[in-house]
Amino acid sequence: MSSNKTVGKKEDKMRISFDLDEVLFVYPETHKTEPPLKFPFNKIYKERLRYGTPELINKLQEMGYEVWVYTSSYRTEKYIKNLFKHYGVKFDGIVNAMRHIKEVQRDSATTLPQKLPSMYRISLHIDDESIVCSLGRQYGYRAYQLTDQDDEWQEKIIKRAEEIRHLNELEELENAPQ
């Protein structure tokens, strides 16, 4: 697909990350959701996925994006992996609170933002929190804010991702040695 690309050292795929709480995990009272898992898995994994989540993640990966989770929650990587496996989703990377503290915050004297997608070369992060989205400019990542039920969330995120991928490609061309 991109074999005829003439610039760039590596065929790096663009990375997109999703927050979990209030973004991919929502409540049936306020959002359309995917069906719960069958017994006994519904007793282990109680979170409900925003309707269309598996379809969107798989679609983005088919389109050549890496899809990550970036959450401030302490759910383990294993828990997140297994939950999504039941819905046919496999993420390319997972950053939870433990990993963020270990790899991003480390022993910095100042408290860094709760998420720093640019540290993981993530170009687009989807989050419900305004603060996370507004810090993007300062910390070098782009964000898409998603909170409410939106029947067109898949199309909107794909559109945003395509715009950013295009911008990144242009930037790469600009920076290519003459």
Structure tokens at 122: 């993530």
122 secondary structure, DSSP code: E
Single out the residue of 2, 13, 7 nearest to residue 177, CA to CA: 7
Nearer CB in complex with Mg ion: 75/165: 75
Nearer CB in complex with Mg ion: 66/127: 127
Q: Residues 65, 161: contact at Cβ < 8 Å?
A: yes
Query: What distance in Å separates the CA atoms of residue 84 and residue 94, rounded to the nearest whole number?
Result: 12
Nearer CB in complex with Mg ion: 22/55: 22
Rule CB under 5 A: which residues touch Mg ion?
A: 19, 21-22, 128
Query: What distance in Å separates the CA atoms of residue 15 and residue 60, rounded to the nearest whole number?
Result: 10
Min CB(98)–Mg ion separation in Å: 17
Min CB(178)–Mg ion separation in Å: 44
Nearer CB in complex with Mg ion: 135/165: 135
Min CB(71)–Mg ion separation in Å: 7
Nearer CB in complex with Mg ion: 101/131: 131
Q: Residues 146, 140: contact at Cβ < 8 Å?
A: no
| 3-class state of residue 49 by DSSP | strand
Min CB(127)–Mg ion separation in Å: 6
145: enclosing H helix or E strand: strand 142-145
